Structure 1
Amino acid sequence: MSADSRVKIVSLLGQRRPEAVVGLPESHWVDFKSAGPKGPYDLSLEAKKYELAKDVAAFANAGGGLLVCGFKAARRPTDLHETVLKAMPFAKQLVNTERYKGIIAEYVRPLIEVEFHWFEDPAEPEVGYLVIEVQALSESERWAVVTRTLSDDGRLVKGGIAIPRRHGDQTEYLPPDEVYRLVNSGLRDRPAMDLDLVVADGAAAGVDVAEAVIDSLVQKRRHELLACLPQPEQRPSRRRDSASLSGIEQLAAEQISRLSGIAASLPEVLSRDFRSPQQYRDEVDAYLVRCGPGILPVLEQAVALQRAPLSLQLVNNSDAMLHQVEVVATLAPGYHVIVAAPGSTPDLSQLPWPEPPVPYGQNTLLAAQVVPGLPAVGGYKARRRPSSAQLPEWARSADGLVIRFPPLDVRARATVLLPPVTLYSPAADGTAACRWTATCTNLSGREEKTLSIPVEQLSVTLPADADGPELVAR
């Protein structure tokens, strides 16, 4: 690219002379872009995201260049190249340079240096022109690739690459044979991955919960729920009046007593529970039977969250920058994982029991309440981090518990921390065997190693005078 030619266009715009740009031709170092209603690159469309990445990569592969936005260019019958026909300035707010940078950083490898310059139109200062200056890649870094391809329906497709380059006033793509030659020669010469995964902090938890603790918790819950049953009343005996009544007086007294009984029984009938005390006891017993299987895993979660999460560190021992390293860890089937910690450490005495039956005395005509369903005992809800922070994904397979950490870049001879996780198992010995693999997008091959994770032995007791379970480290 001619530095004088580049300076000429920038100088004309800086001198507020956009009309002098009209008539200039496109070339291998300059491309003129008109702006639509949403700017020169409408980033709401995947096709326009790809176009921006493709244009930047093409100039980086051709020695650098300028993307000059705000001019309409076309090829007339008498021209060899597309030339600028007229200026079409646009509003500055239609350009979000941070989003432009984000698209370039996400879709182009390696990272390309770009600079943005805005020039006001002399006739209308509220509109103007944008120049995107693309720096050339060094020979050691060539070629720049776009890490997506574009489908026929205008959608970005993962898994493919495109290598654009500027040729004259057009953008062309490296032929497949040339791409194969570059890839094949690069695979022979490129360094191999050399990674290690180590424990930076924390440990897995081996949780032991005795059956007596579960039984005690169930009985305590039963006692709490049955406390609403009425207690037998001790009525004081009354001394009867020995005086006899006449027949008429006796009849009147009986009628008054009957009417008083009817009046007194109305509130009692309206407020009487539809169930008998024994029926309510049966509901409570059925509820606790349904809760039983879920208490143990919830208590194990609560115990595991009492300790600091496990933090793993990825170490790059090579001299190569590794792009999008993905680590997949596999543990024995008996292990469980929590990938996001709650806002505060859960209290062992406050287990998240499901909704119990309506208390006795509240399922009446006056209350008109409906007995709620009994969902299974659920674990502690994890408070998610902000959406910008990626969390590991996990699944179970025939091999065991599989944790997939989000991809990340690792500089040469550098170490990075993986997102922390909480690992626990109901039965574990001194260490947990972890098999892990790592891959990256810029080097071939697959790193496969094993890691021994320390296990902290934890048990739960329930002393007679305690309000709830207590954690004991062994």
Structure 2
Amino acid sequence: MTVVDSRVRIVTLLAQQRPEAIVGIPESEWVDFKGVGPAGPYDLSLDSKKYELAKDVAALANAAGGLLVCGFKATRRPTDLYETVVKRNPFAKRLVNTERYKSIIADLVRPSISVEFSWYDDPGDSGLGYLVIEVPALPEKARWALVTRTVNEDGKLVKGGIAIPKRHGDDTHYLPPDAVYQLVNSGLRGGPAMDLGVAVEGGAGVDVTVAESVVEALVERRRSALLSSLPQVERRPRRQRDGAALPDGPQRAVDELLKLQEIVGRSLSYTLSRDLRTPQQYRDEVAAYLEKCRTGLLQMLEQAAALQLDPLVLRLENRSDAMLRQVEVIATLDPAYRAVVRIPGVLPDLSDLPWPEPPVPFGQKTLAAGMAVSASIASFGLPAARSGPSTSRFPDCTWSEDGLVVKFPAVDLRARADVLLPPVVLYGCPSTEGAAALRWTATCTNLDGRQEDLARIPVEHLGVTLPPDAEHPELAVG
């Protein structure tokens, strides 16, 4: 559904006296639902409400225009990405003085913005209804709409400051100080400025949950595979004397003597083929190796599972009439997040995890083989390090304790055009609301300044388990 169609739909529902059908509609860049207090949608006896009216009008004008729909309560529930209408709140028409509204807007907003007011009666009570304020988008040459005063801590309007709000999703953001400085320094639209947007085209972040038993089960399976190379205890037949078995002491002496005779008979080959480690030393090597595996296996499982899903794809939009050269977008997230690039056409196999290099199996670390004999158990790098196309076209992901930084390759962007940024897999991002915040900044080579904003990305929950009864179990994702 297009923006125009959606606006028409809301107005049509009100004109048809079907306000109940608006419950469940989410707020967006072009519609802001306003609850109503005892003094109406905007209590103009308060400076803070005068500022709120001016701010709401300027924010829509600086975006694509839109509607202020008064008489509906909207809130964000834990399962919603955006604030959504939860109930009707019709009010008396006498609480609205459109002339005062116009006066406040004319006094506090520059340039002048002509808004339109429409009243719709409630079907249940003709004395109550809903107010719609339609705000047109400012033309590019007239950008930006300013609120000419700010509010202090006491909620009073004060002179000497300006604010440049802009509607973004279901929220209102303000142009950061660097962008405001750039506008002022260039004569407030004396030259072109960036006007970019970032939206989710597809995919999601992944919150991976690994069952506690999975790591230990995989470690124990690897332990069994490595220790299987140890020689089995040799069972020599017990010798007899006068038809009775020898006692343990004489039996061991006989066994040692027989073993010594075998060594003497093939001393050279025995020496060359004998493992340089004792069985206990090999067991110690395996134990140290498995402890190393245990510390990194959880992250390997999370990453391998996240790579099974579609990666996150962001759409970069140029909303200005200027051609932007070499636009570089950098996304910053909380350090709890991880990121990895999935090579197109390469999908990791969860049944074949990327283990670290294991110790040389027992019996292969001999004088004959030296140290050049490799292990027979397969080993390879993490999925992100597999061979594939050149990564120059892919995002550069850098993690530190301060945060995760994803730098996308620079692109040229025509006026009023958009482009899909290269996909990236984000995982390890727990969220109880089904969405996560992503802070992005953008620069380009042909315009000064920097633009930054916040985007919300959906988060999918993923579980990793290990079927215990299968003969050759594979990891299950779901």
Aligned-residue Cα RMSD (Å) equals: 3.5
Q: In structure 2, how many angstroms separate the alpha carbons of the residues matched to 1:208 and 1:256?
A: 57
Deviation for aligned residue 1:404? 1.9
Count of aligned pairs between the two proteins: 276
Deviation for aligned residue 1:454? 0.8
Whether 1:424 aligns to 2:431 is no
Which of the pair has more CA radius of gyration?
1
After TM superposition, the score normalised by the length of structure 1 is 0.51
Name whichever of 194-203 and 228-237 sits farther off.
228-237
Residue number among 310, 335, 338 corresponding to 2:337 in the alignment: 335
Structure-2 residue corresponding to 1:128:
none
Q: In structure 2, how many angstroms separate the alpha carbons of the residues matched to 1:280 and 1:435?
A: 50
Q: In structure 2, how many angstroms separate the alpha carbons of the residues matched to 1:464 and 1:340?
A: 29
Q: In structure 2, how many angstroms separate the alpha carbons of the residues matched to 1:233 and 1:295?
A: 36
SS in structure 1 at match of 2:347 = coil
Residue type of the alignment partner of 2:230: L
Distance change (3 Å), C-alpha of 1:410 and 1:232 = same
Deviation for aligned residue 1:191? 4.0
Runs of at least 5 residues in structure 2 that lack an aligned partner in the other structure: 1-183, 244-256
Q: In structure 1, how many angstroms separate the alpha carbons of the residues matched to 2:198 and 2:306?
A: 22
Whether 1:460 aligns to 2:478 is no
Q: In structure 1, how many angstroms separate the alpha carbons of the residues matched to 2:400 and 2:358?
A: 35
CA contact under 8 A between 2:204 and 2:311: conserved in structure 1? yes
Residue type of the alignment partner of 1:379: L
Deviation for aligned residue 1:296? 1.6
CA contact under 8 A between 1:392 and 1:405: conserved in structure 2? yes
CA contact under 8 A between 2:308 and 2:348: conserved in structure 1? yes
Deviation for aligned residue 1:334? 0.7
SS in structure 1 at match of 2:287 = helix
Distance change (3 Å), C-alpha of 1:190 and 1:293 = same
Distance change (3 Å), C-alpha of 1:451 and 1:261 = closer
Structure-2 residue corresponding to 1:415:
418
CA contact under 8 A between 2:342 and 2:424: conserved in structure 1? yes
Q: In structure 2, how many angstroms separate the alpha carbons of the residues matched to 1:446 and 1:274?
A: 63
Structure-2 residue corresponding to 1:49:
none
CA contact under 8 A between 1:357 and 1:371: conserved in structure 2? no
Structure-1 residue corresponding to 2:299:
297
SS in structure 2 at match of 1:189 = coil
Structure-1 residue corresponding to 2:220:
219
Whether 1:362 aligns to 2:367 is no
Residue type of the alignment partner of 1:208: T
Structure-1 residue corresponding to 2:446:
442
CA contact under 8 A between 2:467 and 2:476: conserved in structure 1? no
Residue number among 262, 265, 269 corresponding to 1:263 in the alignment: 265
* Same amino acid, percent of matched pairs: 55
Whether 1:350 aligns to 2:352 is yes
Q: In structure 1, how many angstroms separate the alpha carbons of the residues matched to 2:185 and 2:455?
A: 33
CA contact under 8 A between 2:331 and 2:438: conserved in structure 1? yes
Runs of at least 5 residues in structure 1 that lack an aligned partner in the other structure: 1-182, 243-254
Structure-2 residue corresponding to 1:379:
382
After TM superposition, the score normalised by the length of structure 2 is 0.51
Q: In structure 2, how many angstroms separate the alpha carbons of the residues matched to 1:304 and 1:280?
A: 35
| Offset from partner CA, 1:273-325 (integer Å, 9 cap, x none) | 23222221111111111222121222221111111211110122223322222
| Offset from partner CA, 1:55-113 (integer Å, 9 cap, x none) | xxxxxxxxxxxxxxxxxxxxxxxxxxxxxxxxxxxxxxxxxxxxxxxxxxxxxxxxxxx
Deviation for aligned residue 1:461? 0.6
Deviation for aligned residue 1:394? 3.0
| Offset from partner CA, 1:324-344 (integer Å, 9 cap, x none) | 222121111111111342752
